[in-house]
Amino acid sequence: MKRRTIRGKVPLRISFGGGGTDVAPYYIERGGVVLSCTIDKYAYGTIRKSNDHNVTIHSLDFDILVKYDVSENIRVEGELSLVKAVLKHFRINHGVEIFLHSDAPPGSGLGSSSAIATLVIGLLSAYTRTPMTDYEISELAYQVERHDLRIPGGKQDQYACTFGGMNLIEFREDATIVNPLRVPRPVLNDLEYNLLLCYTGKTRLSGGLIEKQVRRYQEKRDDTVSAMDDLKRLAYNMKDAILRGELRKFGGFLHESGESKRRMNPHAYPKQILSVYETAREHGAIGGKILGAGAGGYLLLYADFDRRRELIEAMKAINIMPVDFHFDYKGLQTWEAE
């Protein structure tokens, strides 16, 4: 086989509303919905034929290297198990090298783990010339993470980063539907300018938080079930507000979404995060929420343009660093390198 090199990148995402309703069994029993948009923070990857019979996986972020003979039965465990699990779904009969790195670590709340899964699927699909639709790539990534590896979590990230752009994603037992939103460019520009993405200084593994959320739902706790229903309602409200250009109303819904998320699972908002958010509210934030499962990673805030600078300085004063970002609309991309 001719030595081919395939590169790819996939955007990370910010979730505005509905996060948590994409986690089974809630979405299976009651239907879930998430409003999200991808941003210009990425997971990157390269795959190329090697000169031996080894499959070699390089994680450039963590300086980890995993190597095994292509004839071996892959043991999906230990370091880079997510990548190995994806490789099991493709029939690679010769040695390859895979290089991976990401703009954000796992546990940051930007969906980086799922981005890696979809990226590797995209790379292998292109490398093996196996045509796959965006829905097929997203569903395989979900299968690998949630079923093959039994990693607790939801279903939004795989679809968000594969499709790219701003989407209302609806989850049912029998189907997932991605609804792209046609938002006027001036509204998108204002929304992007008024949002502030802040790194809280620590990451967390979401598994324990997700398991607590699922347990609370399975126990049919009124606060958790009603909060999840509210999160679903708010996702639709936020979608309507964006399409109508009612961004201040969107900011209020973002605040309600954060409050509902805290009722759904109080463990998502430790005292440190609550203190940061209270400071943000005192300095112009109309709304905000912790991203991902919670407890750390990135905090998303919304403020009117005339108080944005005040909010930025207030966050810096408590060592919470704002991160520049822009929306991304392309989703998963792969190409053959020269």
- The residues that are catalytic are 157
Q: How far is CA 10 from CA 18, 20, 34, 40, 197, in A?
A: 22, 22, 19, 9, 19
How far is 68 from 76, CA to CA, in rounded Å?
A: 12
What is the spatial distance between Cα 237 and Cα 232, in angstroms, rounded to a whole number?
A: 9
Alpha helices in the chain (DSSP H): 26-30, 81-87, 112-127, 134-142, 156-163, 185-194, 207-218, 222-243, 247-264, 271-282, 308-317
Number of CB atoms found within 10 A of residue 220's CB: 8
- Residue 287, SS3? strand
Beta bridge partners of 67: 56
Give the N- to C-terminal CA distance of the chain in Å, as an integer.
Answer: 16
